[in-house]
Structure 1
Amino acid sequence: MKLLSRAGFERDRDDALYNRIASKLLPYLVLLLVVSFVDRVNVGFAKLEMAGDIGLSDLAYGTGAGLFFLGYCAFEIPANLILQRVGARRWLGAIMLVWGVISAGMAFVANTHQFYAMRVLLGIAEAGCYPGVMLYMTYWFPARLRSQVCAIFFLGLTFGGMLGGPLSGWILQTVPQWGGLHGWQWLFIMEALPAVALAFFTFAWLPNDPLDASWLSAEERRYVHASARGADGAQTAAVLPGRVVDALCSPTVWLMALANFALLGGAYGVSFWLPQIIRSAGIANLLHVGLLSALPYVFSGACMVLVARHSDRSQERRWHSILPMLLSVVGFWLAGATSGHLAWGLIGLILAVVGAQTSSGVLWSVPATLFSGSAAGTALAMVTMGGNLGGYAIPYMIGYARTLAGGFAPGFYVLCAVQVLGIAALLLVPSNRFRMSDVSRDTRALSSDMNAASPRNVA
């Protein structure tokens, strides 16, 4: 299966090798993100029924939806440092097992305070997943490929939005009250099972890094490992020292975290509130609500991959990140200006989601190339933290605005302004932080040695 564009490679051998690695790892990583995304945003559908059962107001729901990200932010940096110490297989497997159990436990909340507590715990449990995978991919893929690799990984958000909405709507619409539990309770339980199953698969299968991959030859393991390390240490014009404190004190990392605040805040603001937005427009059938909520994600996947491939081919990151964010600005403005009109509102939200996800696919190729060693994991965790603070703040702001104004339009205008703030942050990042240089001479020499030692083509 060929997942990566030929434009990112300098040698035919790399084309075959890295596409083989991508075909092994990326389907699993995409599935991991699908399950993670569904388990964190299915509360938006559950709220359609659970609000009345546990006395959940719009403001309390927005607060609880966002509290997930406070727990998430608090543990992101420690989680990435633990992954580097204990290995990806054990750490990612443990994360999935714990979050699956907690997600199923959401079915048994009985009041607002329990809802808040479980959302915080779910955020803590998932904290190491997203930044951990971003760090894990730097072990395998050199910097020149990471834009399209990140875009393929982010297809998990697209597929999660496409599948999670209809699935959640179907569960709410059709599952009877088995065992005295309501449909929203079965929604949490049924959608938590894949995380538990995937945890045991991870324990049994996932290699910690290229040196641990039994499906690579010894020469291939050495080459992939050195190539990825060369990307971190010598392949980027902007690479900086590798201490954790360097990442914590880097203005570039903070600016990228602010940009990610805008991107993920906008994306999760849509994800958490879209079912209510559609319901408020007069759609009563819950399955129809789920199907309509999938539309923004149907269009985002292809745009994200195409833009990321063009970014890798041109090795340009800044404008490939900024221009899609401008599309999000237009989308949120349109959604606010046409609030209450379902068709135009959906078009606006489609544009907003396409812009946010497309920009994320490119932006995420940059942070890990700025540092080496532990600082790389810290930089990734900090940028993720910025995004998840947006995931906390934006759903709360939408809920607060709706409580005050009785509609969603003010929240959309706030989201529009937040995207402009993210664009300003990227414009302030020094241009050399986005530039990629040629492959290091050490990696080139290793490639020559590998070719001499093993002249056969990689299958």
Structure 2
Amino acid sequence: MSDALQPRMAVTADRSIDSKTFWRLIPIILVSLVVNQLDKVNVAFAKLQMAPDIQLSNTAFGLGAGIFFIGYCLFEVPSNMLLHRIGARVWITRILVTWGLLSAATMFVTGPGSFYLVRFLLGVAEAGFAPGIMLYVCQWFPARTRGRIIAIFMTALPISGVIGSPLSAWLMTAVPSVLPLRGWQWMFFCEGLPAVLCGLAFWRLVPNRIDDAAWLTQEEKTALQAEIGTVSQHSGSFAAGLSDARVWLLCLIYFCFVAALYGVSFWLPTLIKALGYANLRDIGAMTAIPYAAAVIAMLTLAWHSDRTGERRKHLAAAALAGAASLVASVALRAHPTGSFIALTLAMAGIVSTVPLFWNLPTAFLKGATAATGFALITSIGNLSGFVAPFLVGVVTDATGSTASGMYALAAAAVVGLGLVFAVPGRLVEGQR
């Protein structure tokens, strides 16, 4: 066999392994992530009916929406450490089942206190899911495809908005009030149980390691392990993930971007209602449009980032576009169509920062260090999921407008943009 043919055959083999692995793992992961993100979409819609039913002020809703992330943060690192030791199959199944049951249990809240309690417990149950999935994906997909893979499964956030927004609005208005349950209660019940089903599917379909993949030949397993670089279960250390200054820098960056993301997404139906849409189904349909734009933006930017091997500028561009458009959406509120277009562009940019961000830590964190580092980044970053919705709620109650809150969220995205360039380019650039 000529030397000239060997690289071509290697590329063909790589693509064959990539394709098999993709179709065996990504569909169930993507569906689970979409179901996961419904928790964020449905509570934003529930506010429109639930708030008057159980006497929730804007401040109380913001606190309840955000307190989820307190439980999430406290248990994120321990959860990911257990996943690293026990294996993804068992631990992610446990996460999916328990959070599905607690999400459905939100239908029973009767006031601010019970709302806070269920949201906190839901955060505890869900802790470790996102970084656990990230760690798992890094064990199966090499750096040359990782940006696209991360972007594909992170389309779960906008896809859940596209599906969940009209679905939540429909469930809240079409399902009859019986037993005697209101529309928002049926919505929580119907959108919580799919997580339990995903947990059972994850248990049956997802292997822990490459060696357990029945769909790959032994030669393919060896080739995939060689390209990724076999990472021992005990390589690195959990302590190293906590003491690495680069990890803490990434925590700050992620905090800023997630603040903008959750600050906008938790309040998106309310922002659209303020543009003059009163009917719940109309609000549901309009809310789906910014999320649909985000899917296109995420995949396009991720594809171009993988193609060029450039990471930081793509991330910075998404953050800048999101922040500028968010400011424009406020400035154009006297012109609802222009404000809605700007809000759509803001969501496209802000949502795109999340998959683009994860190209940074996955480039240089490995093994146990990655397990701790990913969990720490997610937990510290997600503290902004508590701060941002609560801040917007307080500002809205105090001023009667969400404008100042949106300016603060745009500022957070700009700060994150600046910090991106403090990450050494040699660590993250050129991986194709």
User: Structure 2 length normalisation: TM-score?
Assistant: 0.94
% identical equivalent positions: 39
SS, match of residue 294 in structure 1: helix
Does residue 1:166 correspond to 2:160, yes or no? no
Determine the C-alpha separation between the residues in 2 that align with 1:379 and 1:246: 8
- 5 Å matches for 1:25-424? 25-229=25-229, 242-339=236-333, 341-424=335-418
Which secondary structure state, in structure 1, belongs to the residue aligned with residue 286 of structure 2? helix
Q: Partner letter of residue 158 of structure 1?
A: P
Aligned to 2:6: none
Structure 2 unaligned segments of length 5 or more: list them. Answer: 1-8
Aligned pairs, how many?
Answer: 423
> What is the distance in 2 between the residues matched to 1:10 and 1:312?
19
Q: String of CA shifts for 1:327-373, please: whole Å, max 9, x gaps.
A: 01111111221236432222222122211222222221221332222
Q: Would you identify which runs of 4 or more consecutive aligned residues in structure 1 move more than 4 Å?
A: 230-233
Contact 1:278 1:342 in 2 (8 A): no
Unpaired stretches in structure 1, ≥5 consecutive residues: 1-8, 234-240, 439-459
Q: Distance in 2 between matches of 1:273 and 1:104?
A: 21
Structure 2 SS opposite 1:261: helix
Distance 1:404 1:344 in 2: 26
For the aligned residue pairs, the C-alpha RMSD in angstroms reads 1.9
Q: Matches of 2:352 and 2:231 in 1, distance apart?
A: 23
Asked if the contact 2:41/2:161 (under 8 Å) is kept, the reply is: no
CA distance in 1 between counterparts of 2:98 and 2:425 reads: 41
Asked if 1:22 corresponds to 2:22, the answer is: yes
In structure 1, C-alpha distance between the alignment counterparts of 2:231 and 2:316, rounded to whole Å: 24
Q: Distance in 2 between matches of 1:10 and 1:388?
A: 41
User: Structure 2 counterpart of 1:255, which letter?
Assistant: L
| Alpha-carbon separation, structure 1, partners of 2:19 and 2:88 | 21
- Aligned counterparts of 1:327 and 1:419: Cα–Cα separation in 2: 10
- Do the aligned residues in 2 keep the contact of 1:266 with 1:356 (CA within 8 Å)? yes
Superposed CA offset, 1:187-237 (max 9, x none):
10000121111111111111112111111112222222332235999xxxx
Which TM-score applies when normalising by structure 1? 0.88
Contact 2:231–2:367, Cα closer than 8 Å, also in 1: no
Contact 2:28 2:198 (C-alpha < 8 Å) held by counterparts:
no
